[in-house]
Structure 1
């Protein structure tokens, strides 16, 4: 079974509290996800603050517009430092996503580290080579721009 890691970093021109308040609010997931993914949070009474043990359910359309249920659990959280979400139900055989932030000169360094295993064994490994890894790059490139725009707009006004 193939296992992969995907890492993205971004230096955000903002303070630690602002970045934490943005990334730890589950409602902002839709803001940083491309529209074509058809991303909708289906959890009821989700609130604006994450906590360990929180279950978040979504519908997402990652391939050919086919709706897929995805359920993640926030398994660990350290205020203004990191949180981890893990897939409980969804398209991957395994998904473990670490979100880290660290104050640095010039802003806040945000690092996403995703450890994942596609479904379907060898077919999943082929799918990763053909499109999964490219799709992750595309989604995180979109997120980079969305986060940059969000904080630029906030500073402007």
Structure 2
């Protein structure tokens, strides 16, 4: 299993960061490079506790589907999305939003595991860690730029 920790500083309130991070529409816009779109569950608007969304995307040239559940929700401080169906053996993504001066420190704490036992562990270390880190960094840059442009 791989653990990732990303920290992003955003000049916006925790409530603004929290809401945009739970927006299906914002997610779709921020992930346009992978043609990510919601095809089941909540397909637009802001997600809430207990809701699911099924995403369809293309990564590594391969179409994927993943259904995520908002399994924890403490507005505007924290939420967790977890895979309930999809390509990973495990996907757990905790999002935290902490006041930081006149803005927010956004933390992404991700635990994931690839399927296929030893082959999956090799893929985690060779490709998935770097790929997912860059994907999350691009998403966080999009969130920051969008929120800061509103000010």
The two structures share one fold, judged by TM-score above 0.5 = yes
2:45 to 41, 45, 48: 48
1:137 and 2:125 correspond: no
* Structure number, greater radius of gyration: 1
Is the CA contact (8 Å cut-off) linking 2:49 and 2:70 kept in structure 1? yes
The alignment partner of 1:61 has SS state of strand
- Alpha-carbon distance in structure 2 between the residues aligned to 1:70 and 1:45: 13
Per-residue CA deviations over 1:35-89 (Å, capped at 9, x if unaligned) read 33121111255442322210100101112x2111110111110110111111011
Q: CA RMSD in A?
A: 1.5
- Alpha-carbon distance in structure 2 between the residues aligned to 1:26 and 1:144: 15
1:121 to 117, 127, 147: 117
1:30 to 28, 31, 35: 28
- Alpha-carbon distance in structure 2 between the residues aligned to 1:129 and 1:107: 34
- Alpha-carbon distance in structure 1 between the residues aligned to 2:53 and 2:80: 13
Partner of 2:104: 108
Partner of 2:7: 9
Partner of 2:54: 57
Segments of structure 1 that go 5 or more residues without pairing to the other structure are none
2:65 to 69, 82, 86: 69
The alignment partner of 1:41 has SS state of strand
- Alpha-carbon distance in structure 1 between the residues aligned to 2:42 and 2:85: 20
